[in-house]
Chains A and B, each alone.
Chain A
Amino acid sequence: MSQTRYTKDHEWIRVDGDTATVGITAYAAEQLGDVVFVELPDIGKTVTQGGEMAVVESVKAASEVYAPVNGEVVEVNSELESAPETVNEAPDGAGWFVKLKLSDTSQLEGLMDEAAYKAHIG
């Protein structure tokens, strides 16, 4: 059973057991504009909650994508190398960035659910 949680910086995280998929929300993708490049982390990299995990570049801005929770990068969406526009087309699905192996599932409690995130973006 997967549940989606959200961060203040507009990342989403969908958990499945002790691994999770991370991406940026449709709101973030729209704010950025056309995504032209995604810099993904190396497999095996350890990330900490709030730390820089990836970089997403559009024609007008470059933004850090932060890790929503502590973990280890086990897979990255290499499709984004040749088709960065997928982030705009399907931010919640095919436009995912990174899959993490979680080291502390309790951190998810502190993240927002869908209703809280919707309120956050107003």
Chain B
Amino acid sequence: MRYLPLTPEDREAMLATIGVQSIDDLFLDVPEAARLDGPVNLPLRATELEVERAFARMAKKNISAGEAAFFVGAGAYKHHVPASVDHLIQRSEFLTAYTPYQPEISQGTLQTLFEFQTQIARLTGMDVANASMYDGSTACAEAVLMAARVTKRSKAVLSGNLHPHYAAATHTACKYMDIATASQAPVPGALDDIIAAIDEETACVVVQNPDVFGRVHDLTPIAEAAHAKGALLIAVVTEIVSLGLVKSPGEMGADIVVGEGQSIGVGLQFGGPYVGLFACRNDRNFLRNMPGRLAGETVDADGRRGFVLTLSTREQHIRRDKATSNICTNSGLMALAFTIHMTLLGEKGLRQMATLNHEAACTLADALSAVPGVEVLCDSFFNEFTVTLPRDAAAVTESLIAKGVLAGVPASRLYPGKGLDNLLVIAATETNTEADIDLFARALKEVL
């Protein structure tokens, strides 16, 4: 394939067509402080050996999750992913397969997507799930856009205990679609009074369970209040393993469930790629208003079972500006990893895994609340909870690093300037040992 470069005349014509003066104008959304004002400060050349040494020096400055007693959560969780998952997803048939647009050569991919969708629908208690989104935060944004389409209303109420990154992603998407998103103030250790904020103009309420501070809620009253006003309940699950023990959002009356599948099969991966989950009821016109890819089961001309991408008229390549979303992909490889890991676990394995998580968190909560000055805020949690410390949590976690403990996420990182500086959000999973927990409690006592 030849390379055909653009001429300055080509560029001018294109800029004139879209109505901007210069290419720099296309970057106006990037904050001034983040823009380069010259070439990147890199040496012109270096040998392979010099490059290796330089990167090794830089890497040594990191403490990876595996090298410390690790208790960091707040949207991404450290779980054990069996080696078999990585081994299977690296098979070239899976790793290099493209989007299954041609079903006749993609039955393997389509079948795994169908099984993924089935798993997500069952876990969340919903009727239908799509073949995945980019991640939980964009899935959340898409759910609000869908609720606006279905209800024909343009107001969304976001719980104060929804992960702030999810709220920010939702706000960004809604800003350009004339949907007003109102975030309540965070209420660590309890539920914000979101029911009071629902009225006849509300398209949806978005509530996270367990919430960003770790608290587990009964969503049923919220679902009922929303439905009474003709609004939808969108439930957000950032720790999918919680559904091994916590009641599913579907059972509690949610209309759409979104979340992050990272905890199963995927690992921390420096923040991505992750796998967004999207599921909903098969009510009224929900199915036709869903974003994302849908794998469907059908029969071929000879009556044999087969799988295809279906309901494609929702998507951008057919519906253009009237499409349900501009996503034209899914997180295929991560969805596959999720499906493999979930298949290996089974329902029984997931429940066992969830129980181990909860027990680790309970043991940790007991150990930490025995430290003078430390108070556990959440009366009900799964594998994550928030504590109040007698002083600034960010400073405390900094001091704990030297003692080999990565203690959690200070609430000031999630909600800067909201007076929550003494709060620390802590997660414990099946990967935390008793030794880790002992170390954390002892080190915290020393530091405080």
Residues of A participating in the B interface, judged by any CB pair closer than 8 Å = 37, 39, 57-62
B318 touches which of A37, A39, A61 (Cβ 8 Å): A61
Question: Is B322 part of the binding interface, using a Cβ–Cβ cutoff of 8 Å?
Answer: yes
Question: Is B319 part of the binding interface, using a Cβ–Cβ cutoff of 8 Å?
Answer: yes
Closest chain B residue to A36 by CB distance? B313
Within the complex, the shortest CB–CB distance from A96 to chain B, in Å, comes to 21
Q: 9 tightest CB-CB pairs across the interface, nearest first?
A: A62-B313, A57-B313, A62-B319, A61-B318, A62-B318, A61-B313, A37-B288, A60-B318, A62-B322
The interface residues of chain A, by DSSP majority, are classed as strand
With a cutoff of 8 Å between Cβ atoms, the chain B residues found around residue A37 in the complex are 288, 313
Residues of B participating in the A interface, judged by any CB pair closer than 8 Å = 285, 288, 313, 318-319, 322
With a cutoff of 8 Å between Cβ atoms, the chain B residues found around residue A59 in the complex are 313
With a cutoff of 8 Å between Cβ atoms, the chain B residues found around residue A39 in the complex are 285, 288
CA distance A103 to B288 in the complex (A): 32
CA distance A62 to B311 in the complex (A): 11
Within the complex, the shortest CB–CB distance from A39 to chain B, in Å, comes to 8
Closest chain B residue to A64 by CB distance? B322
Closest chain A residue to B323 by CB distance? A62
With a cutoff of 8 Å between Cβ atoms, the chain A residues found around residue B322 in the complex are 62
With a cutoff of 8 Å between Cβ atoms, the chain A residues found around residue B319 in the complex are 62
With a cutoff of 8 Å between Cβ atoms, the chain A residues found around residue B285 in the complex are 39
With a cutoff of 8 Å between Cβ atoms, the chain B residues found around residue A62 in the complex are 313, 318-319, 322
Within the complex, the shortest CB–CB distance from A41 to chain B, in Å, comes to 12
12 new A-B contacts at CB < 8 Å, known A37-B313, A60-B313, A61-B318: A37-B288, A39-B285, A39-B288, A57-B313, A58-B313, A59-B313, A60-B318, A61-B313, A62-B313, A62-B318, A62-B319, A62-B322
With a cutoff of 8 Å between Cβ atoms, the chain A residues found around residue B318 in the complex are 60-62
Within the complex, the shortest CB–CB distance from B288 to chain A, in Å, comes to 7
Q: Which of B285, B313, B319 has the most CB of A within 10 A?
A: B313
Within the complex, the shortest CB–CB distance from B239 to chain A, in Å, comes to 37
CA distance A37 to B318 in the complex (A): 15
With a cutoff of 8 Å between Cβ atoms, the chain A residues found around residue B313 in the complex are 37, 57-62
CA distance A58 to B319 in the complex (A): 12
CA distance A61 to B322 in the complex (A): 12
Within the complex, the shortest CB–CB distance from A81 to chain B, in Å, comes to 11
CA distance A57 to B312 in the complex (A): 10
Within the complex, the shortest CB–CB distance from A23 to chain B, in Å, comes to 20
CA distance A6 to B431 in the complex (A): 70
